[in-house]
Amino acid sequence: MALLTAVVTAMSAKAQGEVQMMTVDKLFQLVESNSKTLQETKTSVEFAQMGLKSARAQRLPDVNASLSATVNGDVVVMNRNLTNAQGFSSPRFGNSFALEAQQVVYAGGAVDAGIRMAELQRDMAVNVQRSTSNAQRFVALGQYLDLFKLQNRMRVYEQNIALTQRLLADIHVKQEQGMALKNDVTRYELQMETLKLGLRKLQDQRAVLNHQLCNTLGLHDAEIRPDTNIIAQVFAQEGELQWQQTALTSSPMMERTQLTTQIAEQQLRMAKSELLPKVAVVAADNLSGPFTYDLPPIDKNINFWYVGVGVKYPISSLFKSNKKVRQAEIGIQHSRDQQAVALESLNNQVQQAYTLYEQAYVNLDTQRKSVLLARQNYEVVTERYLNHLALITDMLDASNIRLAAELQEVDARINIVYAYYQMKYIAGTL
């Protein structure tokens, strides 16, 4: 059976492809480099960065140039009742060149508010990228630890199958000696088949989860082997207060609510700017010909230029923009309320995560004691059964209790790792 298990395992590994030993650091590196979801957020950051450059360009002057060439017809002059028409020849070629520049010197703060808004949108895109990275890492870590759980569960099943095989061999010997019933052999053979079926289910679950994790990491035809040293790692227990302070400064959720409030403030600033006049310095030069405002037209170019200051004030803003201002003020209050709700939610999440983290250590201690007692019970019952002092049902019960205790201990060790990284995920430091 051991040889058959080794052959099946080797064939399965060959079918899956290359075996990759995976540490948590390498896992996170692959998430950062291969996640399609993260790539989309990186593109969003680039888009927002270009939006910021576009907003800053609004400070530059507006320059317009126009050039035209025309073929002119003769000029006809007549009375208003279309009588007494008289024609004048006009130069056939006409040209016009105009250059105009305008520099806004005061826009009620709209330009600065627009630039600040673009900066905040860029910061929001970066925040979304960091939040997505944090989430994708946690998703991959959850799959990674589940894979580790299945791997350890498989090991426990294999150990119990080996123990059952040795016990079956002893029972067969006793049966040949007339000291054991055929029914005893049958029951333990059924127990063996149950263990084999459980192992096969775990192997199938591992294959499915391995495939999902490969897709998450952008790998193909690879068998991922988690780093077994992770459960031996000692995690610091800083205390809930320190985790709460870390979450306040590092949580993407809190940063996002702060950015939302700042964006609402800039929207108020832009709404108020519509109530103020716009002042710009303008300069223009115009070269055109022929001069057609005289009769007959004069075949010469005329050039004129001007420099001045322009003031524009939308009077309709007095009864339109005031409502936008009020809406923006309500938007600020709404974003501040959301920030308070997010703060309360974050506090609850950190408290719950830290409580579960401490609970995971208590659970591990309990499971260690349970395994010790279950193994002692199994050894005692086995000895009693071999000495005809216990029934086969007692042996089956002891075997099942031991299997359950060992599986729960394996899960308890990995749950500590998961609980620790869950706190880092909630605090935004994963």
pLDDT for position 323? 85
| pLDDT higher than 50, residue 401 | yes
| pLDDT higher than 80, residue 413 | yes
d(CA 256, CA 144): 29
Q: What is the mean pLDDT of the chain?
A: 85
| pLDDT higher than 80, residue 391 | no
Phi/psi at 283 (nearest 5 deg)?
-145, 140
pLDDT for position 165? 83
pLDDT for position 75? 82
Tell whether omega for the bond before 61 is within 30 degrees of 0, i.e. cis.
no
pLDDT per residue as tens digits for the range 59-72:
888 899 999 998 88
Confidence label for 407 from pLDDT (cuts 50, 70 and 90) = confident
d(CA 51, CA 31): 27
pLDDT per residue as tens digits for the range 312-365:
888 877 777 788 888 889 999 999 999 999 999 999 999 999 999 999 999 999
| pLDDT higher than 90, residue 73 | no
Instruction: Please name the residue ranges forming H helices in 251-303.
Output: 252-273
Average pLDDT over residues 210-218: 88
pLDDT for position 179? 65
pLDDT per residue as tens digits for the range 224-274:
888 888 877 777 777 889 999 999 988 999 999 999 999 999 989 888 888
| pLDDT higher than 70, residue 290 | yes
| pLDDT higher than 60, residue 5 | no
